[in-house]
Amino acid sequence: MQITRRNILGGAVAAGASLAAPALVHAKAGAAHVVVVGGGFGGATAARYLRLHAPQLRVTLVEPSRTFYTCPFSNLYLAGLRSWDSIGHGYDGLRAAGVEVVHARADEVDAAARSVKLSSGQVLHWDRLVLSPGVDMRWGALQGYDEAAADKAPHAWKAGTQTLLLRSQLEAMKDGGLLVMAIPDNPFRCPPGPYERAAMVAHYFKQHKPRSKILLLDAKDSFSKQALFQQGWKAMYGDMIEWVKQSDDGQVLRVDAGSLEVETAFGTRHKADVLNVIPPQKAGFIAERAGVTNASGWVPIQAESFESSQVAGVYVLGDATIAAPMPKSGFAANTQGKVAAAAIAADLLGQERPEASYANTCYSLIGPGYGISVAGVYRARDGKLIEAPDSGGVSPLDGDARFRAAEALYGEAWYAAISADMFGAPRR
């Protein structure tokens, strides 16, 4: 049996030095304790699957919000195609699965002492720590765009008050107005998300403000599912959406939230009626406090388990990680949560870890009954994540109306299924 895979649940502690040793000492008295920080796609999944794999484990989930609003389908809310309530999820399903849910923020991690300090002052000790804190905005990366500016020019890149603000601004906008979106370079949360948002706002405009326009200013020259998006935009919204790539002067460098103006790299100024600025991002702050980020601001991980490459016993999931070629998506975070949960449970139970396999599908809605998707399967090879040969792909460009309608339905089914998978209760 390997040193790091000893059975600590029964208190059996083998001799020998190991990075996991402090946890073993602590865990001797009872069941091992896994603390999960962040109750979103990665964290909620990991917490639930840890209990499924090993009901004898004590699992505590730390999450400030009592209701988690998903970014997936928040663009449909902007379109008026989903209610706000329908994308909110409570934590009772996780409690029913035996997860202890603590509504607080994790403020400090002491990896040597294996403890995490919460905003409530409570200190939790762990044998394994899972972090899935999502992203934080890099305030100031675009000159003039800070937290105060986001109150006027929302990013709406975390679902919550920002999304509600953007929707209310779109509602208040006059017909014939201009929505300007500033879109960051890779890597960022949800590569197809800005382009689905453009389509969903276009759907809303088409219904309520048909003379309005959408200008996408992009800090890159190509994007996820590009040909499919551009085909769908044209088919459903004519010339309502204009995309400007980086090399055609699309990159926004400065934001004046007071006057709702942006300035590009070539010095062009654009004035908006509604300004949606999606700034560059980094791993949620607790990752840095735990010492798991590198100079990029993101978290290097071991491809086999999503254990940090830098701090033993700390697992990091989802958007916070450097997991390319996997995208920063909810589905990706969900499968990473399952793999990490299986690896942690195996280690703590003294069993062999199952082989890691990851998947992703991102559905995007262009309009009612018009869906497109990208899918991939990933494996760990020689310490790296690779795309499984001959797996995945995008929807065919020549798909007919029935195909697009089927993909829109699959997207709805995906949302119901992953909601149940994470929170133990489906949402339709």
Ligand X SMILES: Cc1cc2nc3c(=O)[nH]c(=O)nc-3n(C[C@H](O)[C@H](O)[C@H](O)COP(=O)(O)OP(=O)(O)OC[C@H]3O[C@@H](n4cnc5c(N)ncnc54)[C@H](O)[C@@H]3O)c2cc1C
Which of 82, 114, 328, 404 is close enough to bind ligand X by CB under 6 A? Answer: 328
Contacts by residues 22-30 (CB-CB < 8 Å, ≥ 24 positions apart)? 22/112, 22/113, 22/114, 23/114, 23/126, 23/127, 23/128, 23/313, 24/127, 26/114, 26/125, 26/127, 27/127, 30/58
Please say which residue, 258 or 325, places its beta carbon nearer to ligand X: 325
Which of 6, 31, 36, 39 is close enough to bind ligand X by CB under 6 A? Answer: 39
Instruction: Provide the 10 A C-beta neighbour count for residue 116.
Output: 25
> Does position 133 bind ligand X by CB under 6 A?
yes
For residues 395 to 424, the per-residue mask of contacts with ligand X, x marking binding by CB under 6 A and - elsewhere, is: ------------------------------
Which of 153, 333, 342, 408 is close enough to bind ligand X by CB under 6 A? Answer: 333
| Region binding ligand X by CB under 6 A among candidate stretches 63-71, 249-257, 290-298, 300-308 | 63-71
- DSSP state for residue 354 in the 8-state scheme: P
Which of 18, 60, 65, 246 is close enough to bind ligand X by CB under 6 A? Answer: 65
Which residues inside 201-230 make contact with ligand X, applying CB under 6 A?
Answer: none
| Region binding ligand X by CB under 6 A among candidate stretches 33-41, 171-179, 238-246, 396-404 | 33-41
Residue 293's Cβ-side half-sphere holds a number of Cα atoms within 13 Å equal to: 21
Bridge partners, 246 (sequence order): none
| Region binding ligand X by CB under 6 A among candidate stretches 83-91, 187-195, 305-313, 372-380 | 187-195
| Region binding ligand X by CB under 6 A among candidate stretches 177-185, 188-196, 231-239, 253-261 | 188-196
Buried/exposed 172-183: b ≥16 CB within 10 Å, e otherwise: ebeeebbbbbbb
CA separation for the pair 312, 23 (Å, rounded): 11
Which residues inside 367-396 make contact with ligand X, applying CB under 6 A?
Answer: none
Smallest distance, ligand X to C-beta of residue 135, A: 7
Per the CB < 8 A criterion, the answer to whether 305 and 315 are in contact is: yes
> Does position 284 bind ligand X by CB under 6 A?
yes
Which of 218, 256, 319, 407 is close enough to bind ligand X by CB under 6 A? Answer: 319
Alpha helices in 141-260 (DSSP H): 147-150, 161-172, 193-208, 226-237
Angle between helices 401-423 and 330-349 (to 10 degrees): 40
Which tokens belong to 370?
A: 């018009």
CB-based contacts of 390: which residues, under 8 Å, 6+ apart?
none
Which of 34, 41, 305, 378 is close enough to bind ligand X by CB under 6 A? Answer: 41
Smallest distance, ligand X to C-beta of residue 68, A: 5
Smallest distance, ligand X to C-beta of residue 175, A: 25
Please give the single-letter amino acid code of residue 35: V
Which of 331, 358, 370, 423 is close enough to bind ligand X by CB under 6 A? Answer: 331
User: CA distances (Å), 244 to each of 228, 235, 365, in order?
Assistant: 17, 19, 21
| Region binding ligand X by CB under 6 A among candidate stretches 122-130, 242-250, 302-310, 329-337 | 329-337
Please say which residue, 35 or 149, places its beta carbon nearer to ligand X: 35
> Does position 154 bind ligand X by CB under 6 A?
no
CA separation for the pair 298, 282 (Å, rounded): 6
Smallest distance, ligand X to C-beta of residue 12, A: 32
Which residues inside 67-126 make contact with ligand X, applying CB under 6 A?
Answer: 68, 71-72, 74-75, 105-106
Smallest distance, ligand X to C-beta of residue 337, A: 8
Per the CB < 8 A criterion, the answer to whether 213 and 175 are in contact is: no
> Does position 280 bind ligand X by CB under 6 A?
no
Instruction: Provide the 10 A C-beta neighbour count for residue 211.
Output: 10
Span between the terminal Cα atoms of the chain, in Å: 45
Bridge partners, 365 (sequence order): 371
CA separation for the pair 63, 94 (Å, rounded): 12
Q: For binding to ligand X (CB under 6 A), which residues are involved? A: 37-43, 62-65, 68, 71-72, 74-75, 105-106, 132-134, 157, 189-190, 193, 197, 284, 286, 317-320, 328-331, 333, 362-363
